[in-house]
Copies of this chain bind each other. A is one copy, B any other.
Amino acid sequence: MPNADLSLVDAYWRAANYLSAGQIYLMDNPLLTEPLTPEHIKPRLLGHWGTTPGLNFIYAHLNRVIRDRDLDVLFVTGPGHGGPALLANTWLEGTYSETYPDVPRDADGMRRLFRQFSFPGGVPSHVAPEVPGSIHEGGELGYSLAHAFGAAFDNPDLIVACVIGDGEAETGPLATSWHAGKFLNPQRDGAVLPILHLNGYKIANPSLLARIPHDELDALLRGYGHSPFYVEGDEPKAMHARMAEVLDQVVDEIHHIKGAEERPRWPMIVLRSPKGWTGPSEVDGVPVENTWRAHQVPLAGVRDNPDHLRQLETWLRSYQPAELFDDDGAPRPELAALVPDGTRRMGATPHANGGLLLRELKMPGIRAHAAEVIKHGTTHSEPTRVLGRMLRDIVTLNADARSFRIFGPDETASNRLDAVYEVTGKQWQAETSPVDEHLVHDGRVVEVLSEHLCQGMLEGYLLTGRHGLFNCYEAFIHIVDSMFNQHAKWLKTHKKLEWRRPVASLNYLLSSHVWQQDHNGFSHQDPGFIDHVMNKKAEVVRVYLPPDTNTLLSVADHCLRSKDYVNVIVAGKNETPDWLDVDEAILHCTRGAGIWDWASNDDGIEEPDVVLACAGDAPTVEVLAATSLLREHLPSLRVRVVNVVDLMRLQPDTEHPHGMPDREFDALFTTDKPVIFAYHGYPWLIHRLTYRRTNHHNLHVRGYKEEGTTTTPFDMLVLNDMDRYRLVIDVVDRVPGLGPKAARLRQHMQDQRTRHYNWIREHGEDMPEIRDWTWQ
């Protein structure tokens, strides 16, 4: 590496450091054209210096190697609060001003850049959707490496440089993400270059990986499957030389590996540099640089303490801004020599604005796979198994585009989607054995027993402009509650940024759900992810509960075509009556909720005596069984059946774009008749969604109330008071004027429940009459 080059890299680094510190402190006087006064200082000093100089160091060196070798690099900023660094670098390279013309590359733009940072109405202190070139929010820690792998899939010419903070490295999700290399195909996928940034400290503690012996750290990283290259020190000149040398070696190694068939040991970098590098080494007699005290704002008293103010000015001037920026505040032309061209600039890579690259998913349509339904509910099929066939065709249709993947924690076959294995396999680069099935070096299915890794890789894949599906046991999707939060927040902000193009929705298929857990029991029963999802912004979240095969196909077809949402589909895998033929299913799913006339006997004209509503596959079966019982025992009772597929329909239209106007809700649920609602999940959610409706006081909801164990499906319904007999009792208890016949029916239903309860405990299975039950 010629020395001249490295002094340029150093100048670039100083410029980025200057711009970073400026963002944390300055309201005005951005070029220090006059001596600093308290009026130039922000009233609230909010920002994080500690990680910033290391990030700037990496970014500058990546620029050098991108230019030298014409590389395509996506930068993932793992460390929390890395905002100032990425804002500084994108401003320096010009991408920031291209994205935000009101922040130009001049003195006024620099002032705005500084002022807006962590300022009301401005930009966050983390790397966030607002930052050009980013697919990764730096607020919650743990997901950078999973995002990086997701971005690298099916991008053979891309290098994803992923900086991992040594704080973040302690999290569980990050700790397991190191293994994702076992799913990366060196030829068909891009490379992930992890850069473990050991700056030694977190908020208030040393980091673990910075405090283990070198041989232990080295063993750990080799154990993860990497070849580590070390860049360690604090003397800038030596560090520049070493970093440049290592980056060249690492890129050589990546190019070498691209020809490999088996899993290689991918190179990675360990950068050990001081926290708050080049910042104040001591403040008020206490060490700051290279300690946890450099985490946030090293000089906290600059507005009131003249010593601090002087120290800040000395620090800022140490970067020699006059050498770096011209009188107008623009970066000097020499610095431009380090900036890659056009979309090679990391702030301008289209991979970080995936909507630019997104191609529509080719869809087979649902008719080819739809269950044939001559008479409602008389044939049966396994909804997810049929969906598997549609997914198989999606895989085939999009094979050339290499733009669709299915992720799952070892549950894709258990969730009965295994038809996909007819045309593809499970991506696997680790060792194989002759007994293995469906493991291939180039497959569309990624299975690893980590919901975190599945979610993180899928997020990375989607945000770089591709499509995908995460299939998971319903209960354990809570493992990624917090990741969902962050992705939903990302989407909310992303949608407000016009320059960010729409990306494919994040689609969850939750199966093996609470009512289908006979293998597993209480620990596997939790339908609460829906409740969790509902707390996020209405414009981002959608929840669907298709009751049978054709409605599942219709919902999945819709979700896979949609953009910028999180779609949650809860669907069964066990044999279920086919309620609707394909046309009815499409219509019903389009409406989201509706009366099932064929199951009702209110003749569609008169007001019914009672509404039986259902959402979810098991509740639908029980509601239809209950109507059947009611028809038998109380033939004159007018029963209306309402099925809800799109849960958001229940809300007022003022609360959610899918919400129903009151008029429509009243037309379905009446204004004064009892409504018995059998719901898939925790019953209070239905109340939360409907408490403003006219007839809410007549609404009685049954659902899962946290009663369960390893038992039969029907016993689960009995334990949670959602079985057909209980629903009939609910009707009898709520419809007035049914007379003595009703009291007898009530007792009969109670006897039936007891009979089932006892039979199940004696025989260990459901009574055959439950399983054999068909509609009408």
Contacts and interface: CB of A to CB of B under 8 A. Distances in A.
Interface of A: 27, 42-44, 46, 115, 118-126, 128, 137-142, 167-168, 170-179, 182, 202-208, 211-213, 216-225, 287, 290-291, 296, 410-414, 426, 428, 430-433, 435-436, 439, 447-453, 475-476, 478-479, 481-482, 485-486, 489, 492-493, 518-524, 526, 528, 531-532, 535-537, 682, 684-685, 687-688, 691, 696, 706, 709-712, 715, 760-761, 763-765
A436 B222 contact: no
A45 to B, nearest CB: 10
Contacts of A535: 526, 528, 531, 682, 706
Contacts of A175: 172, 175-176, 178-179, 450
Given A124-B710, A139-B522, A139-B524, A172 B167 contact: no
A3 to B, nearest CB: 33
Contacts of A432: 206, 211
Contact of A522 (B217, B489, B688, B761): B489
Given A204-B410, A481-B532, A691-B691, A523 B172 contact: no
B413 A518 contact: no
Contacts of A706: 489, 492, 535-537
Given A710-B123, A760-B120, A205 B531 contact: no
A203 B410 contact: yes
Contact of A482 (B43, B203, B481): B481
Nearest to A179: B208
B124 A44 contact: no
Given A120-B712, A139-B521, A212-B225, A691 B682 contact: no
Contacts of A126: 520-521, 523
B213 A223 contact: no
B140 A476 contact: yes
Contacts of A44: 518, 712, 764-765
Nearest to A705: B537
A167 B449 contact: yes
Given A223-B219, A449-B168, A479-B482, A711 B493 contact: no
B140 A171 contact: no
Nearest to A536: B706
* Copies of chain A in the complex: 2
A124 B523 contact: yes
Contacts of A205: 410, 426, 439, 447
B482 A478 contact: yes
Nearest to A537: B706
Given A46-B518, A528-B535, A448 B176 contact: no
Closest 5 CB pairs of A and B: A220-B223, A139-B523, A172-B172, A175-B175, A175-B176
Nearest to A117: B710
Most B-side CB within 10 Å, residue of A182, A220, A411? A220
A171 to B, nearest CB: 5
A448 B687 CA distance: 40
A396 to B, nearest CB: 22
A221 to B, nearest CB: 7
B449 A141 contact: yes
A528 to B, nearest CB: 5
B212 A430 contact: yes
Given A140-B476, A216-B223, A476-B140, A453 B172 contact: yes
Contacts of A121: 711, 760-761
B519 A296 contact: yes
A174 B204 CA distance: 24
Given A142-B172, A291-B435, 13 more contacts: A44-B518, A123-B710, A125-B520, A140-B523, A167-B410, A170-B453, A171-B450, A175-B179, A203-B414, A204-B414, A211-B432, A479-B481, A481-B481
Nearest to A690: B691
A431 B520 contact: no
A414 B80 CA distance: 15
A489 to B, nearest CB: 6
Contact of A219 (B176, B178, B207, B222): B222
A223 B221 contact: yes
Contact of A710 (B122, B478, B521, B536): B122
Contact of A120 (B172, B526, B761): B761
B123 A170 contact: no
A376 to B, nearest CB: 29
A395 B489 CA distance: 39
A478 B485 contact: yes
A286 B351 CA distance: 45
Contact of A684 (B172, B431, B688): B688
A439 B536 contact: no
Nearest to A118: B710
A221 B141 CA distance: 24
Contacts of A202: 410, 449
8 contacts: A126-B521, A138-B523, A139-B520, A139-B521, A171-B449, A175-B176, A204-B412, A211-B431
Contacts of A709: 124
Nearest to A146: B172
Contacts of A203: 410-411, 413-414
Contact of A170 (B118, B450, B528): B450
A179 B170 contact: yes
A139 B696 CA distance: 38
B410 A711 contact: no
A23 to B, nearest CB: 12
Contacts of A685: 688
Given A217-B223, A223-B219, A706-B536, A172 B170 contact: no
B182 A176 contact: no
B485 A526 contact: yes
Contacts of A222: 216, 219-220, 223
Nearest to A223: B220
Contact of A691 (B42, B128, B448, B696): B696
B426 A764 contact: no
Contacts of A124: 520-523, 709-710
A659 to B, nearest CB: 13
Contacts of A128: 521-523
A448 to B, nearest CB: 6
B691 A519 contact: no
Contacts of A287: 435
Contact of A532 (B42, B519, B531): B531
A43 B771 CA distance: 14
Nearest to A681: B535
A515 to B, nearest CB: 15
A412 B202 CA distance: 12
Nearest to A125: B710
Nearest to A182: B208
